[in-house]
Structure formats: structure tokens, C-alpha cells
């Protein structure tokens, strides 16, 4: 009889404290393999294993490619690399970013679900936006369990809230109670993994291969979705929309992947970048127009010089309009809109 023995954990902003509390609450002889993804900048030196070792005696280290999976071990995704779980071993890859991160939570959760089915327990902790939601959906789809930090306790509640909103979560608990629950669940007997359709299996396998840094062009991901009207914020390729239950995700032909929330955030951030690009162009035109005007004035051509100075002033006025647009611009996410709606409703009630 197979047992629950695979624990995958993901967090982003505010996650370091949650990781420490969670690992500190686990038994030192826990009969499970633990895999951790924490969003970090690619240039950050990986110190998470050392930090976790202060709170648990379970050995913790960055995973390496083709490392065998053993119970009573904590495997941490190294900086700027995805960590994938395959049957009996680990893959460390430099595949395309998902939700603008590498390592990302969804590839780990998805690969664990595909390889180990209902032996998997997925844990989502503090973080912004919604990386991990699609991964938890995959874990549930393959018969595993989904556990989420109580959003009221999380330092950043977006990731837990999004998961609760879109996935049938099994346990929503403070971190200390999550650790206790994992101890209870680890080692439980499980029956056979529930059947998954051939199409779903192939789609999941294809996405794992993309995260494993195989070229996405020949993997025909478009078979599992519909072309959208959006382009990838990173490479500007056309995004294919993939539906999974209530979830809508997007992936381009080079492999970059986005949730709807992350795509919205990326698009609205690019608006500000583009506006600043327009300001830069206008400022450069003002400098050049004034310089040409000065040259004409020195050449005793005041009428022509005045025209150049006038055009420079008109450009300055247009630049100020764009600067006003920048000041009024608002980076958006589904959560920020939801919070605004909640605040508005509360104001109206008052």
C-alpha cells in the first residue's frame, strides 16, 4: 500500500517566517520528502537551507539535478532554477519563467502531482498574486491534498486567498496547525490515484517538459487551449489560453506562463514603462529643438529660431500630459480590484 510521503511547499513575499514556523513544527523523523520553492531574485544568494536548519534537524539543502528522492529530507529550489519532481529523482532546470518567477511554485506542484498522484500534499503560504493556485488545482486533480495558510495570519494574503477562491482546499490553518496536520497526514495509506483523462495527462506532461527546458515550439501546447488576444509581456509571443476548471492560464510558444492575475499585473506595469518611454522621447525632442533654435538664433535667423522654440514648448506641454497620466496610472491585479470593491462596499454601507 502506498503512503502519503511527498510534501511540496511554496511561498513568496512574507514566506520566510512561515517556512521557519512550518519546518520547526515537523517531527525530526518525519517519513516524508519535503520540497520548497521560495520566490527570489536570480541574483540572491540561496540562504534558505541554512535558515531552516536553525529550526529543524531534518537535513535541508539546495537540490541538485538527478538527486534521488529520500524521505526525511528538505529539498530547496536553488536560485534562478525550477525544481521538478520525477519518479524517484529531482530535476533542476533553467526552463522559462512561470508567473514571472524562476523558481516558480506551479511547476513543482504540477510535476509532483503528475509523478506521485494522491501521495502528494501541497502547502501554499504567504505571498502576492496567485502563483501556486494552478499547481494546487493539479494536486487536487490527481487526488492529492491541498493545504493553505490562513490568510488572516499570512503577512501577504493574496496567494492563500486566491487558492481558497479557486481550488477546493482541504485545510485552511495557521502555520503551526498546518505543521501538526502534515505530521498526522504523513505516512497515511492511500488507494490508487484517481483516473485522469489522457488529454489532461498529456497537457500536464507537456507543461512539465517545458519547465524542464525542452523547447516549447515542438510540443504543440496550442492543442490544449485557444489562441488569445494577448501577447507575452516577456517575449511578445501570442499567448494560448488554457482552461482548468474555473482557472484560466496563459502560455506562449516559448514557454512563459501566466495566471490571469499575473498577466494583468504585468500588462499594467508595462503601461507605465511605455509611458516613461514616451516621456523620454519627448524630452529628447525638446532638447534637440531648443539646441537647433539656439543655432538659428546665433545665425541671426530669429523667425526660424522662434518657431523651433515654440515647437519645444508645445512638446513640453504634451510631455506634462503624459506625466499626469503616469501619476494617475495604477498597477492592477485581481486582488487589488477585489480589495477596492470590498472597501467601496464598506464605505457605501457606512
Taking only the tens place, the pLDDT of each residue in 28-61 is 999 999 999 999 888 777 789 999 999 999 999 9
| pLDDT at res. 193 | 82
9 in a domain, yes or no? yes
Catalytic positions are 12, 39, 131
- Asked whether residue 219 carries a pLDDT value surpassing 80, the answer given is no
pLDDT tens digits, residue range 136-167?
999 999 999 999 999 999 999 999 999 999 99
- Digit-coded pLDDT (tens) for 63-104: 999 999 999 999 999 999 999 999 999 999 999 999 999 999
| pLDDT of amino acid 42 | 80
Of 87, 34, 85, the residue nearest 61 (C-alpha): 34
Is 10 part of any domain?
yes
- State mean pLDDT over 98-115: 96
Q: Residues of the chain with pLDDT > 70: what percent? A: 93
**In a domain? residue 198:** no
Note whether 272 and 181 are same-domain residues: no
Q: Quote the CA–CA distance of 284 and 123 in Å, as a whole number.
A: 51
pLDDT for 32: 97
More confident residue, 179 or 214: 179
Residue 341 has pLDDT above 70, yes or no: no
Mean pLDDT lowest among 77-81, 86-90, 173-177, 266-270: 266-270
pLDDT at 152: 96
Task: Say if residue 109 is in the same domain as residue 234.
Answer: no
Q: Are residues 171 and 316 in the same domain?
A: no
What's the domain count of the chain?
3
Residue 171 CB contacts under 8 Å (≥ 6 apart), including other chains = 145, 146, 147, 148, 178, 181
Query: Does one domain contain both 249 and 277?
Result: no
Predicted confidence at residue 329, as pLDDT, reads 80
Contact 315, 285 (CB under 8 A): yes
Query: Please, which pLDDT band fits residue 345 given cuts at 50, 70 and 90?
Result: low
The label of the residue with cell 508645445 reads 314
Q: Is residue 344 a part of any domain in this protein?
A: no
Query: Any idea what the CATH number is for the domain that residue 17 is in?
Result: 3.40.50.180
Whether 146 and 281 share a structural domain = no
Is 208 among the domain residues? Answer: no
Q: Is residue 319 part of a domain?
A: yes
Whether the pLDDT of residue 338 is over 50: the answer is yes
The b-or-e profile of 198-233 (16+ CB within 10 A means b, else e) is eebeebbebbbbbbbbeebeebebeebbeebebebb
pLDDT over 90 percentage in the chain: 74
pLDDT of 124 over the 90 cut: yes
Q: What is the pTM of this model?
A: 0.86
Range of the domain at 292: 262-338
Residue 350: which pLDDT band, with cuts at 50, 70 and 90? very low
Mean pLDDT score of the chain, rounded to an integer? Answer: 91
The DSSP secondary-structure symbol of 101 reads: B
Residues 45 and 173 in one domain: yes
| Cα 329 to Cα 216: distance, rounded to the nearest angstrom | 35
| pLDDT score recorded for residue 342 | 61
Considering the domain architecture, whether residues 283 and 251 belong to the same structural domain is answered as no
Residue 201 within any structural domain of the chain: no
- Whether the pLDDT of residue 349 is over 50: the answer is no
Q: Extract the runs of DSSP E, i.e. beta strands, from the chain.
A: 2-3, 6-11, 33-38, 60-62, 73-76, 82-86, 89-93, 120-124, 145-149, 171-173, 189-190, 226-231, 238-244, 247-252, 257-259
Whether the per-residue pLDDT at 249 is higher than 90: the answer is: yes
Amino acid at each position: 500500500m502506498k503512503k502519503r510521503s511527498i510534501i511540496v511547499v511554496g511561498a513568496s513575499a512574507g514566506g520566510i517566517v512561515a517556512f521557519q514556523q512550518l519546518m520547526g513544527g515537523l517531527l525530526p523523523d518525519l517519513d516524508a520528502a519535503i520540497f520548497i520553492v521560495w520566490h527570489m531574485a536570480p541574483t540572491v544568494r540561496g540562504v534558505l537551507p541554512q535558515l531552516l536548519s536553525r529550526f529543524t534537524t531534518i537535513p535541508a539543502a539546495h537540490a541538485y539535478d538527478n538527486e534521488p528522492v529520500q524521505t526525511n529530507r528538505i529539498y530547496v529550489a536553488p536560485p534562478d532554477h525550477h525544481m521538478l519532481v520525477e519518479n524517484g529523482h529531482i530535476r533542476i532546470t533553467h526552463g522559462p519563467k512561470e508567473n514571472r518567477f524562476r523558481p516558480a511554485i506551479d511547476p513543482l506542484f504540477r510535476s509532483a502531482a503528475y509523478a506521485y498522484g494522491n501521495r502528494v500534499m501541497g502547502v501554499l503560504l504567504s505571498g502576492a498574486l496567485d502563483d501556486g493556485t494552478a499547481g494546487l488545482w493539479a494536486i487536487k486533480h490527481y487526488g492529492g491534498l491541498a493545504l493553505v495558510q490562513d490568510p488572516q495570519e499570512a503577512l501577504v494574503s493574496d496567494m492563500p486567498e486566491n487558492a481558497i477562491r479557486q481550488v477546493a482546499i482541504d485545510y485552511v490553518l495557521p502555520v503551526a496547525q498546518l505543521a501538526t496536520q502534515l505530521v498526522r497526514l504523513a505516512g497515511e495509506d492511500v488507494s490508487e490515484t484517481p483516473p485522469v483523462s489522457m488529454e489532461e495527462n498529456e497537457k500536464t506532461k507537456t507543461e512539465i517538459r517545458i519547465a524542464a527546458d525542452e523547447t516549447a515550439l515542438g510540443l504543440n501546447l496550442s492543442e490544449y487551449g485557444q489562441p488569445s488576444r494577448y501577447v507575452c509581456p516577456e517575449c511578445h509571443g501570442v499567448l494560448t489560453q488554457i482552461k482548468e476548471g474555473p482557472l484560466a492560464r496563459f502560455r506562449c510558444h516559448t514557454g512563459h506562463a501566466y495566471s490571469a492575475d499575473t498577466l494583468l499585473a504585468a500588462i499594467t506595469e508595462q503601461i507605465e514603462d511605455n509611458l516613461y518611454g514616451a516621456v523620454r522621447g519627448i524630452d529628447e525632442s525638446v532638447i534637440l529643438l531648443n539646441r537647433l533654435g539656439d543655432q538659428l538664433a546665433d545665425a541671426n535667423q530669429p523667425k526660424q529660431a522662434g518657431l523651433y522654440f515654440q515647437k519645444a514648448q508645445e512638446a513640453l506641454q504634451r510631455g506634462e500630459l503624459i506625466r499626469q497620466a503616469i501619476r494617475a496610472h495604477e498597477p492592477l491585479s485581481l486582488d487589488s480590484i477585489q480589495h477596492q470593491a470590498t472597501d467601496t462596499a464598506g464605505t457605501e454601507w457606512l
